[in-house]
A and B are shown apart, each in its own frame.
Chain A
Amino acid sequence: MKRILTTAISFAALALSFSCSGVPEGASQIAEEAPIFPDYKEVTVPENIAPLNFSYLGEGKAVLLAGDNVIKSCHGVFKFGGRKWRKLISEGKESGKVQFSLSVKKDGKWLSYKPFNIYFSQDKIDPWLSYRLIPPGYQGWQEMGIYQRNLESYSEEAILTNDLTGGNCMNCHTFLKGDPSKMVFHARSAFGGTIVVDEGEIEKLNTKTDSTISALVYPYWHPSGDYVAFSVNKTFQAFHNHDPNRIEVYDEASDVVVYNVNTKEIAWSPLTRTEDRFETFPTFSPDGKWLYFCSAEAVSPMPDKYRKARYGLYRIAFNAEDMSFGDTLECVYDAPADSASVSFPRISPDGRFLCFTRHGYGNFSIWHKDADLWLVDLTDGSLKPMEKVNSDDVESFHTWSSDGKWLVFSSRRDDGLYTKPYFTHIDADGNAGKPFLLPQKNPLAYYKRLMQSYNLPAFTTGKVKISRRKLVDVLRKSPGTDVQAR
C-alpha cells in the first residue's frame, strides 16, 4: 500500500513538474533520437488505425508527452487507451500531426530526447488485413493458418488454421479488389485443392491438368471477378551453407495461365507459356485489359545457375469478352538489363502506379536481403526505388489498399528472419511516407514472442465472414471439381 502511495505521489509530483513546453522541469534536451520500438517516429498513419503503443528501449524511468497528454509507461510500454488515442487523433486531424516528447530519468536527472511527430492522414485505411502466419521455415511447419486482423483495434481471428485440415499447408490467399466475400487460396497435401469463395459459396477445385506443369499457384483476380490469373510452377528450395540469403527458392519451369471462374477452364497464350522462358507472378491491370507478369530466360541446370535467372516485367493484352490474349508481349521493365530481377508486380487501383519487388536475381524475394520495393509510374514509364520504405533487409510482398492510398508490405528489417507487415501512405504523386509496423497492445513483447512470420498481407474492405466449418468440410469431404484446359 505504501509503495502504491509513493508511486502515486511521485507521478503526481512529476505531472506537476511538467512545464508548459511539455518536458519535466529542468530536463536537459539531448540531440539523440528516442530509442523506441516500433519506430513510429515521423510516420504517417491513418486516422482509423489502432493505438500505436510502443516501448522505450533504454533504461530508467520514462514519461511521454503526447500532444498535451502526459503518458506514463507500464512496464516500459506506452499504451494509449481508446479515449486518449481518440483525443490524439482529433488533435492530429486539426494540425496534421502530434508531437511526442520522451523524457527519461538517468542518474537523478531528467533528459529529453529529440521530439518526434506522428502525422495523421485523413485517408482512411481499409479496416481489415488478412495474412498467413507461418514459421519462417524452410520446409516444415506444424502450425499455420490464414488470419484476419482489424486494423482499427487489436482484434485478430483465424479464417482457417491447419490443425483442422490435417496439418497441411495453405497458401496464396487473394481477394478480388479487397472484397472479403471473394477469395481464393490453395491447400496442399492431405485435403489439398484450390478453394474459391464467392459470396459464401465455397468450391474446391483440382487444378492440375494434363496440359500444365503443376496445380495452379500464384493467383490474381481479374477486376470483373470472372477470371483469376495464375502461374503454374515447378518450384524447389535449397538451403545455403553460408550466405546471408539462407534459402533459395527457385523454379525449374513456370508458365502463366488464366482460369475462367464460370466455365472452370484454363487458357493461356503461347506468349505466357514458353519453353525457353520462366513466366510467373501474374497481375491484371485495374481495367482488366492487361495481364502483367514476370518473365525470365530459362536457365538450366537448376539450382547450379540460380543466380542467372533474372526476371523482367512484361504485359500482354487480355480480352475478358472471350478470354483471349494479344499477339505481342510488351516489356514494361527490362530488369535483367540492369542486372536485376522483378517479382510481385501490383498495380494501384487507379492504374497509375505499379509497385514491384526488385532484387539481384531469382523470383522468391522474401529470402533476398537486397529485395526492395520500386514504383513505376505507368503514365510515363518512369521508375524509382521507394527510398523511404526500403531498409537494409528484405522488403517483399505487398498489396494496395482499395483506394490506393496505402500499401502494406512484408519486411524483415527488424530481425532479418521473422517477416512483419509494414504500412506506408502513398500520396497522389506516388511518394511514400515512412512506414509503420502493424500496431499491437504490447508490440515489443508480442513480436519477440511471435514464432511465426506474417506472410502475404492483404487488405480487405471488411471482415471475411466465411464459415470455417464450411471451409473445413469442403476441404476434407469434397472430391473437388476438375479444372479443364481449354
Chain B
Amino acid sequence: MNPFALAYRERQQLFIFDRTYILGTFLKVGGLATLLSRFIVQFFWNPTVALVLTLLSLALSAYMTWAIVRKSRNDWSVFSLCVIPSLFIGASLSDNSLHFDYFTAILLVQAGLLIYKGIKSHRTLWGVLLTIILYFTAGSAAVIFAISAAVPDSWRHSRLDRESHFPWTLLSIVAVALCGIVSYALALVPTWSEAFTPALYYDLDASLPVMHWAGWVTLSLVVICAGLAKPVPSKGWITVVSRIALLGVLFVPASKFSKKIEEKQPSLAYVFEHYAANEDWDGLVKSCGKAPWLPRTANYLNMALAWKGELSERLLEYDQRGPQSLVMTTKDRAVDVAQAHLMFTMGNVAAAQDVAFNSLSSLQGFCPDMVKLNAQVELMRGSYEVADKYLSLLEKAPRYRKWARKYRGFIFNDDAVEADPLLGNGRRNLAAENSFIMYTDPMSELFPILDVNPKDERALEYGLCYLLLAKDLNSVKRFITDYYSSPESPELPRIAQEAMVFYSEYSRNMEGIEPFGLDWCYEHGVKPETVKRFEEYQRAAVAGPVSLKKFRGTYWYYLVHTEI
C-alpha cells in the first residue's frame, strides 16, 4: 500500500463543515459511507497518518469480521480467516479510482451485521429494516449484509423447522433487490451495476476491475461459512497452523493484486504532488533526483529548484533532456494539477489559472490545491469577490482554515497584495500584453511577462534555462542582453556564463552568426574563472572521455553530450 497514493486521496477532496455539503453528500445512495470516508480522508494529508489510519481501519474491519463470526462460532482459530476480507480490501484501496467509500461502506455493513447477530427476536423484520437502512446509507454494499444475514439464518431455519414452507429470513435479499430497483427507477444510480455492485464506489462509468469483488465475496463467504459449516473438531495447534497457512496462501494473490494495481497507478506523481502541495521543496528534489530523466519528474524537480532559487545554479547537476525537462507542453490542459503548479511557478499565472479552474473539482469534491491556487490568482487579479468565495470554502475545512484566513487579509487591500512577494509578483505579471494562452510555446508567453516584470526571478531563471536546455545559444545571448545587462540585474548564472564563453569561441567559425569575443562576455557578467575553466575543458576534451568526467554538470558537457 503506497502511503503517498493514500495521501493523494486527500488532494482530491475537501471535507467542508457546512450544512449544504453534509446534507448534499448524505442524501445520496451510500451517502453516509461517503461522508464517513471523506471525513477520514481529510486527515490523509500526511502519508504516514494516512497509512496508519488505513491500517487501523483495516484492523478494525478484521476485528469486526471476527466479532460477527464469533457470534456463530466462538473459536479463536478462525480469527486468521477473518483477516482475509481486510487483506483484499486493503489491496483494493491501492486503486485510487476506487473511492474510499468502498471501505467505509463495508465497515457500516459489518456494524449492521454485528447488530443483526445480536438480535434475538423478530430477526426477519430487523434484517429487512437494517438492509433498507444500510442500502441508503452505505449503498450497494448492503448486498453483502443481505446475503450474509439471510443465508445462514435460512439454512438454520430450514434445518430446525422442516414444517415451514418459506424461509422468511430471505426477505432481506428481497429487500435489497427492491432497494436497488427503486434506486434505479428513480435514477438515484446511473445503471444496474451501481445499484448492486462495487461499481457504485468506482470512478463514474469506468470499468470496475473484477478483483474489487474480492473484499465483498470473501467477507460474505467468511460470515456465511461460519454460520453454515459444522464445527471442525479442534486439533489444537494443527488447526491454528492450517488456518494461518491458508491466510498465507491467500496473502499471495492479494499482494499480487495490490502490486498489479499499483503498477497502473501514477505512483511517482502521488509522491511529487504531496511534496509540491506541501511546498516541501527539499523533499521534492530528493524524490525526483532518483529518475530525473523522465520529463514529468524533471518538471517537478526543476520546479522545486526554482522555488528554492537554485534552478540555474543546480540545473545541470541532474540529467536534463532538453526544454521538455523544464516544462512539458501538453495539448490537453483540461485536468492537470501538475501543469497548474508548473505554470504558477513560471510566473504565468493566467495559464496556471486556466488549468487550475478545470481541475477545481474531482469526482470526490473540490481539489484543495486548485481552490487555493484559484484564490491566489483571483487576489492577484483583484477579483476580490471571487477570491472571497474560494477562501470562504477553504475556511470551512479545518486543514485549510489557517491558510485561508491569512489570505483573507488581502481582500480589498490592493496595497497589501502589491506588497506581498507572491501576490504582488503575480499581479505585475498579469499586466503583460494580452495574448491567448498556450498557443505556441511556453517561452512566447514568458517573454511578455519578463517585459513587464523582469524582477520575477523564477520567470527569469525559467526563461534562461529553457533556452539553454534548447541549446539555442543565439537566443540565450539575446536573453542575456535583454535581461541581465542592467546594473539591477542578478548575477549571470554559471551555466549561462559557460554557454556564452563557448559561443564566443565558436561564433568565429560559424556561418550566419555575428562573431563576438570575450570582451562582450566580460561586459555581460562572465567571470574570468569561467574562461579559465573552459580552457581546461578544451584540453580535457582532447585528452578523452575520462578527463571529461569532472566537467559533468557544466553546460559544455550538456551541450556536447546530451541529445535532445
Contact = CB atoms under 8 A, between A and B. Distances in A.
Interface of A: 135, 137-140, 142-143, 163-167, 190, 238-243, 248, 303, 414-418, 448-449, 451, 467-469, 471-472, 476
Interface string B178-220: 0000001111001100000000000011000000000000000
B18 interface: yes
A468 B437 contact: no
B451 interface: no
B392 A448 contact: yes
B76 interface: no
B360 A137 contact: yes
A239 B445 CA distance: 13
A239 B334 contact: no
A415 B335 contact: no
Contacts of B389: 415, 418, 448, 451
Contact of B434 (A164, A240, A417): A240
B66 interface: no
B15 interface: no
Contacts of A242: 350, 430-434
* 4 cross-chain pairs, A with B, having the tightest CB-CB distances, nearest first: A140-B358, A415-B385, A468-B187, A166-B205
Contacts of A448: 388-389, 392
Interface residues of B, number: 44
Contacts of A140: 334-335, 357-360
Contacts of A166: 190, 204-205
Interface string B354-373: 10011111110010000000
B227 to A, nearest CB: 37
Given A137-B358, A167-B205, A241-B448, A416 B430 contact: no
B350 A241 contact: yes
A418 B393 CA distance: 15
A303 B366 CA distance: 32
A338 to B, nearest CB: 24
A451 B190 CA distance: 24
B436 A239 contact: yes
B432 A241 contact: yes
B237 interface: no
18 contacts: A138-B358, A139-B334, A164-B190, A166-B190, A239-B354, A240-B436, A240-B437, A241-B350, A241-B351, A241-B430, A241-B435, A241-B436, A241-B448, A415-B386, A448-B389, A469-B187, A471-B187, A476-B191
B413 interface: no
A63 B401 CA distance: 32
Interface in B335-350: 335, 348, 350
Contacts of A138: 354, 357-358
B386 A418 contact: yes
Contacts of B475: none
Contacts of B361: 135, 142-143, 451
B74 interface: no
Contacts of A468: 186-187
Given A138-B354, A167-B204, A417 B360 contact: no
Interface string B235-259: 0000000000000000000000000
Given A415-B389, A416-B385, A469-B187, A238 B437 contact: yes
B121 interface: no
Interface of B: 18, 20, 184-187, 190-191, 204-205, 333-335, 348, 350-351, 354, 357-363, 366, 383, 385-386, 388-389, 392-393, 430-439, 445, 448
A260 B173 CA distance: 49
Contacts of B359: 140
Contacts of A449: 18, 20, 392-393
A451 B360 CA distance: 10
Contacts of B350: 239-242
B184 A142 contact: no
Given A241-B437, A242-B431, 12 more contacts: A137-B360, A138-B354, A143-B361, A166-B205, A167-B204, A240-B434, A240-B435, A240-B436, A418-B389, A451-B389, A451-B393, A469-B186
B386 A417 contact: yes
A451 B433 CA distance: 30
Q: Which of B205, B363, B437 has the most CB of A within 10 A?
A: B205
A142, A241, A467: residue with the most chain B Cβ atoms closer than 10 Å: A241
A303 B361 CA distance: 28
Nearest to B383: A416
Given A164-B187, A449-B20, A476-B191, A243 B434 contact: yes
A469 B184 CA distance: 7
A142 B362 contact: yes
A238 B360 CA distance: 18
Given A241-B434, A476-B190, A163 B358 contact: no
A11 to B, nearest CB: 26
A472 B362 CA distance: 22
Contacts of B357: 135, 137-138, 140
Nearest to A449: B20
Question: Quick one: which of A239, A240, A467, A476 has the most chain B CB within 10 A?
Answer: A239
A61 B37 CA distance: 41
A140 B357 CA distance: 8
A451 B14 CA distance: 13
Given A135-B360, A242-B430, A416 B386 contact: yes
A146 to B, nearest CB: 13
Contact of B439 (A142, A238, A417): A238
Contacts of B351: 239, 241
Contacts of A165: 190
